[in-house]
Amino acid sequence: MAHYNCMLIDLDNTLLDFDAAEDAALRETLRHFELPEDAATMEKYKEINRALWRELEQGTIKKEKLLTLRFSKLLGWLKRSLSAGKVNDYYMNNLANQAQLLPGAIEFLTDVEDYVTIGIITNGSYRAQLNRAELSGIAAFADGIFISEKLGVTKPDKRFVNLALDKLGVNSRKRVLVVGDSLTADIKCGAAAGVDTCWCNFQGEENTTKIAPTHTVRGFEQLKAVILEQEELEHVGEKKKYQL
């Protein structure tokens, strides 16, 4: 029997390559509005966006405000008079069509889907994230897709995990694993909800926080070994899902 029978796994930079998606959508947006596409502008946007998402995780800003404010700040830095709302709408439309997978993501899901209930968890925009999950093929593996905009709570609020498990019909927390690339969102959220966690440290970053994940992995093969027992690793794809 697998070590875990339910996995709540993050979408961006855990299964999907958000950095590539962001770059493609942002460049197209800047080009469309005749704004500079240089490295300095790209990095300034990312700096603004990262700071605002940290505020969202801390509960000091609402998602609706964040989406427009990031472009309002960028336009102010560029000294350009455009509607931040229109720029954001164009960007989000482009982002929704970006579904670049991280190498090995589909193979990983294929190998573990017979053994675990899979819930996709993300703080992103509902329309964009749902479309990206479907375009990438990830949605086909999911028993549920849980997006903060629809749930009404944002990671790392423990209610995010609680609501997802309730909707999946998972009653026991003993064999639930929350998986993600963000210590401050995914891992903190899982720990707050009282379940095991796995930090996907695919970039080999240093953990400078006081957040301690149950497991840390550098790739999908290691993650698979966290979830499955040795015998199952040798026979992936041959069994059906365990009943919860």
Give the residue numbers marked as catalytic. 10
Give me the amino acid identity at 149: E
Query: Among 68, 96, 76, 74, which Cα is nearest to 30's?
Result: 74
CA dihedral 189, 195, 196, 197 (to 10 degrees): -20
H-helix segments, 59-214: 63-78, 84-95, 105-112, 126-136, 148-151, 158-168, 188-192
| Residue type, position 64, single letter | E
**φ/ψ (deg, to 5) at 216:** -135, 130
Residue 28 exposure: Cα atoms within 13 Å on the Cβ side:
17
How far, in Å, CA of 25 to CA of 96, rounded?
9
Alpha-carbon distance of 189 to 167, in angstroms, equals: 17
Nearest residue to 126 (alpha-carbon basis) of 105, 151, 101, 102 = 151
Closest CA to 22 of 176, 128, 119, 116: 128
Contacts of 106 (CB under 8 A, 6+ apart): 137, 138
